Amino acid sequence: MSELGATLVDLQHRFRAALDAAPDDRALDAVRVGYLGRNGEVTQLRRAIGTLPAAERPAAGKLINEAVEAMEAVLSEASTRFEARDVERELARTVDVTFPAIAPLTGSINPVRRIVEDACAYFRRHGFAVVIGPEIEPDYYNFDALNIPADHPAREGFDSFWLTGTLLLRPHTSPMQIRTMQQYRPPIAIVAPGKCYRRDAVDARHLFQFHQIEGLLIGEGIHFGHLKGMLAGMCRELFGTSQSVRFRPSFFPFTEPSAEVDTTCPKCKGGGSHCGMCGGSGWIELGGAGMVHPNVLREMNYDPEIYSGWAFGFGAERLGLSRYDVDDVRRFINSALDFLEQLQ
Ligand code: DAH
């Protein structure tokens, strides 16, 4: 046997032994590189062919090619063996099917959103449409059309964020009354939930971004009794029957007569004295309401001799304080999920 032939036989023996000794895929690959890689032993032999007399080169090349072919076959067998071993190992692993699973994190609905949805569901059942409008309004929708002209002191009471001389972040959802009346003719029955903004210092009762639910019903023969009935029904739905609702005379430029609506303080149950939540009155204010002012109807080209209607605007966070017996509105937005998840 030629010298090269003997070298190759020896090399193949060592190659096979190294493969047999390889404990894992990675070691297998290291063996491959050591023999067949760019600087491997076989490659070096191949390079040496150039130093042989020209007549011997073809035979030497053939010998090396045959050896490489055989080595590749052995290598592929070895890697097949490894794969089979991995599969076996995987199959042999025991799985404890009784082991408790890791519960996936699931979201929950924020209580303010739930209040809004429940209130809207109540009105929808009574034939009201739910409408959504812009959070940036021109002063016409927010004030003028609601019977609050430019020099009216009520504008000051809204502490608004003005964006330009005429555009502002809406401080209430009442502009949706105007947008709806402009678009449709009576009868109208809508609720309009959404975000509102006021330049209020944040404390237990105030956020500078909060939510209101606006309601509007316009038709023939609509009166204050309808308003009381609907709002009392809504409170029963949201709070249950243990809480009462009362209407207190008040003033809003866009309603006449106007009322503020209170519900029994959930903390002292109306008992009052020394209650930190209601300040001792026994009542929590939910928002304003009243009969739509004839000036507003006229502005919309609705004849106040024919049509009448009621409107209300309630703070969703206020409804939330009351429903969930929470003592601070900031709790609704401070992302303490353990706390919020309880309030369903
Ligand atoms: N928009 C009023 C506010 O934010 C609340 C309000 C009062 C709305 C009376 C109404 C209403 O629709 O009729 O203070």
Tokens encoding 121: 């569901």
pLDDT at 274 over 90: no
d(CA 126, ligand 1 centre) in Å:
21
pLDDT of residue 90: 86
Write the DSSP string, 210-269.
EEEEEEEEEESS--HHHHHHHHHHHHHHHH-TTS-EEEEEEEETTEEEEEEEEEE-TTTT
Look at the alpha carbons of 170, 174, 178, 183 in this order and tell me if their dihedral is positive or negative: positive
Residue 266 has pLDDT above 80, yes or no: no
- Provide the token pair at 7: 């070298």
Which range (110-114, 146-150, 159-163, 272-276) has the least confidence?
272-276
Q: What phi and psi, each to the nearest 5 degrees, are found at residue 44?
A: -65, -40
| Cβ atoms 260, 275 nearer than 8 A | no
Among 92, 120, 153, where does a domain finish? 92
How does 85-96 read in b/e, with b if 16+ C-beta sit within 10 Å? Answer: eeeeeeeeeeee
- Whether 128 and 87 map to the same domain: the answer is no
Pocket around ligand 1 at a 6 A CB cut-off: 172, 174, 214, 252, 255, 258, 287-290, 311-313
| Mean pLDDT, residues 305-329 taken together | 93
Question: At a CB cut-off of 8 Å and minimum separation 6, what does 172 contact?
Answer: 142, 158, 196, 212, 214, 313
Let me know whether 51 and 146 are in one domain. Answer: no
170 and 294 assigned to the same domain: yes
Q: What is the pLDDT of residue 278?
A: 82
Confirm whether 80 is domain-assigned: yes
Q: From the CA of 110, how far away is ligand 1's center (Å)? A: 24
- Return the pLDDT at 338: 85
Q: What is the DSSP letter of 109?
A: -
Listed residues 26, 58, 92: the one ending a domain: 92
Following DSSP, what letter does each residue of 16-84 receive, concatenated? Answer: HHHHHH--SHHHHHHHHHHHHSTTSHHHHHHHHGGGS-GGGHHHHHHHHHHHHHHHHHHHHHHHHHHHH
Please list, in sequence order, all residues whose beta carbon lies within 8 angstroms of the beta carbon of residue 132, skipping any fewer than 6 positions away. Answer: 192, 193, 194
On whether both 210 and 252 belong to a single domain, the answer is yes
**Shared-domain flag, residues 85 and 203:** no
Q: How many domains does the chain have?
A: 2
Q: What is the mean pLDDT of residues 231-247?
A: 90
pLDDT at 11: 92
Q: Whole-angstrom Cα distance, residue 98 to residue 93?
A: 15
Q: Is the pLDDT of residue 254 over 60?
A: yes
Portion of the chain with pLDDT greater than 90, in percent: 60
What is residue 116's three-state secondary structure?
helix
Q: Name residue 14's amino acid.
A: R
Whether 230 maps to a domain, the answer reads: yes
Q: Tell me the residue type at 119.
A: A
- pLDDT of 317 higher than 60: yes
Examine the domain organization and report whether 158 and 63 are in the same domain.
no
Q: Is residue 226 part of a domain?
A: yes
What confidence category does residue 269 fall into, taking pLDDT thresholds of 50, 70 and 90? confident
- Look over the chain and give the mean of its residue pLDDT values, rounded to a whole number: 92
> What is the rounded average pLDDT of the residues 32-60?
90
Among 41, 62, 92, residue at a domain's last position: 92
Residue 101 lies in a domain: no
pLDDT per residue as tens digits for the range 89-139: 888 888 888 989 888 888 889 999 999 999 999 999 999 999 999 999 999
- Assess whether 222 and 82 both reside in one domain: no
Does residue 102 fall inside a structural domain?
no
CA distance 208 to 256: 28
54 and 144 belong to one structural domain? no
pLDDT above 70: percentage of residues in the chain: 100
Choose one of 174, 209, 216 to mutate for the ligand 1 pocket test, by most ligand atoms within 8 angstroms of C-beta. 174
41-55 burial, b at 16+ Cβ within 10 Å, e below that, comes to bbeebeeebeeeeee
- Would you say residue 106 lies in a domain? no
3-class DSSP state of 291: strand
Strand partners, 193: 213
Residues 35 and 158 placed together within one structural domain of the fold: no
Domain-embedded: residue 12: yes
- Alpha-carbon gap, residue 344 to 342, rounded angstroms: 6
Q: Is 126 found in the same domain as 10?
A: no
Note the pLDDT of residue 1.
Answer: 56
Residue among 227, 254, 292, 295 to mutate when testing ligand 1 (max atoms within 8 A of CB): 254
Q: Are 202 and 208 in contact (CB under 8 A)?
A: yes
Annotate 9-21 with b (16+ C-beta within 10 A) or e (fewer): eebbeebbebbee
Tell me, yes or no, whether 214 and 318 share the same domain: yes
Q: What is the pTM of this model?
A: 0.71
Task: Give pairs for 266-272: CB < 8 Å, separation 24+.
Answer: 266/239, 266/321, 266/322, 266/323, 266/325, 267/325, 267/327, 269/242, 270/244
Q: Are residues 175 and 70 in the same domain?
A: no
For residue 288, the CA-to-ligand 1 centroid distance in Å is 5
Q: What's the longest Cα–Cα distance across the chain?
A: 122
pLDDT confidence bin for 335, thresholds 50/70/90:
confident
Distance from C-alpha of 290 to C-alpha of 256, rounded to nearest angstrom: 6
Q: What is the pLDDT of residue 108?
A: 86
Testing ligand 1's pocket by substitution, the residue of 252, 292, 293, 296 carrying the most ligand atoms inside 8 A of its CB is 252
Which has the closest alpha carbon to 47: 67, 31, 34, 61? 61
pLDDT digits (tens, 9 = 90+) for 129-139: 999 999 999 99
CATH number (domain holding residue 170) = 3.30.930.10
Least confident of 50-59, 89-98, 268-277, 331-340: 268-277
Q: Which domain holds residue 17?
A: 3-92
Q: What is the pLDDT of residue 251?
A: 96
Domain assignment of residue 103, yes or no:
no
